[in-house]
Amino acid sequence: MRDPDDLIARAGVRGDPDHDQHFLVDDRVLDRLPTYLESEAQRASRDASGSDPLDEIDAETSHVLEIGGGTGALTDRLLAVADEVTVVERDRVLAAFLREEFREEIDAGRLTVIEGDALEVELPDFSASVSNLPYGVSSEITFRLLPEKRPLVLMFQQEFAERMVAEPGTSEYGRLSVSTQHYAEPELVETIPKEAFSPPPAVQSAVVRLEPRDPDYAVDDEDFFLRFVKAMFTQRRKTIRNAIRNTTHITNLGAPDAVVEAADDELLQKRADAMTPSEFAELATLALAVGEPEGD
């Protein structure tokens, strides 16, 4: 495997915190990241066997997408386990370095480097994604990837990661928790110290594995459901009864009182942070049916 510090030296760059550039340089973490595409049971079996972390990973690795390739330390590990890798890198200098450093892999058709913003470029039909995301746009990128219904292994600020996996009734539970869990089963698999990066970020990081799944509830309009969840959490200290009435500027409901009159009183007495995703779905479905949403 290529040494991450050597890659930085060959690229002739330094991480720039002002532009969300923190290069992951801990070899042990880099080696583990692709293995998190496996399930917890598969990882336990691998650990018990004592096999090499990057040896014959039992996961979907036909075409792995990496967002934010940097100097290629993770790219190198992904090439060791994947048939094909596509890297999206917005920094012009780093994209040019990746094309030079991995020229052999590119010529062999195993690596594609896309220079551009991951929120704007056309993404390939990937089988999974393993990425150390730029933290400033991690939420936007994640919610571009989640609807693709592919396994994801993504690096986040630890606080953000903890909110993604939070359960109802906890202080971390919120809109991010419900929205994430609508698309996938999230698992916080590892916390990463600041010292694993160059330069070290101001906060600890964490790796989240996101296994795509269909929710155990149905929604008639996914956009409205997510907007309804957002609205309820803007009023998280209020009861759901009051939140429905106070957030028509977000939900666009023309008849919020009709929703309150038709809803189960037990749900209306709850606050957003005590509501399960299925309960949000129940209320959103009712709101869509009787609340006269404008523009829906």
Mean pLDDT of the chain: 93
Residue 58 pLDDT? 64
Class level of CATH domain 4-212: alpha beta
Query: Domains of the chain: which residue ranges?
Result: 4-212, 222-290
Instruction: Tell me which architecture the domain covering 222-290 has in CATH.
Output: Orthogonal Bundle (1.10)
Residue 132 annotated as binding site: yes
Residue 26 annotated as binding site: no
Mean pLDDT of 215-223: 94
Please tell me the pTM assigned to this model: 0.92
Mean pLDDT of 93-114: 98
| pLDDT at residue 207 greater than cutoff 80 | yes
| pLDDT at residue 53 greater than cutoff 70 | no
- SS3 track for the chain: CCCHHHHHHHHCCCCCHHHCCCEECCHHHHHHHHHHHCCHHHHHHHHHHCCCCCCCCCCCCCEEEEECCCCCHHHHHHHHHCCEEEEEECCHHHHHHHHHHCHHHHHCCCEEEEECCCCCCCCCCCCEEEEECCHHHHHHHHHHHHHHCCCEEEEEEHHHHHHHCCCCCCCCCCHHHHHHHHHEEEEEEEEECHHHEECCCCCCEEEEEEEECCCCCCCCCHHHHHHHHHHHHCCCCCEHHHHHHHCHHHHCECCHHHHHHHCCHHHHCCEHHHCCHHHHHHHHHHHHHHCCECCC
| pLDDT at residue 52 greater than cutoff 80 | no
Residue 266 annotated as binding site: no
Residue 145 annotated as binding site: no
Residue 69 annotated as binding site: no
Residue 119 annotated as binding site: no
What pLDDT digit, counting tens, does each position of 21-32 carry?
899 999 999 999
pLDDT band at 42 (very low <50, low <70, confident <90, very high): confident
